[in-house]
Amino acid sequence: MTTLLFVVAIVAAIGAMGYKRYRKKSRVRTAAQRLGASPDNAIYIRSFDEMDEHMRQRWCSCGGFLETTGEGTREADGRRFRVARMECHECEETTEVFFDTTDLLQ
């Protein structure tokens, strides 16, 4: 009986490891396709209020809280971007969120 429990525990541990690895892989993939992950799929905003709104609703793909650590501007292909750097409190992953501010109302 003890042996059986031992085997069950090992199988469970191996299963959890594989699942974690699988989750991490799919996480990286979805992170790249996320809205705002690159200038190509930047979040279109008309005001900085909209930008704040988006950042409030943004969570790390691990479920952790994202803190804004910096902001900058970038220009590419005649469009203007506001880039927010965010860091996760849980996994410490840093991400950049692109906002298209070309038509921003001043």
91 binds Zn ion (CB under 5 A): yes
Q: What's the Cα-to-Cα distance from 97 to each of 2, 18, 32, 68, 75, rounded to whole Å? A: 52, 30, 11, 10, 14
For residues 54 and 45, the answer to whether their CB atoms sit within 8 Å is yes
| 66 touches Zn ion (CB under 5 A) | no
- Contact string 15-44 vs Zn ion (x = CB under 5 A): ------------------------------
64 near Zn ion (CB under 5 A): yes
- Per the CB < 8 A criterion, the answer to whether 101 and 81 are in contact is yes
What does the binding site for Zn ion look like in residue numbers (CB under 5 A)?
60, 62, 64, 88, 90-91, 93
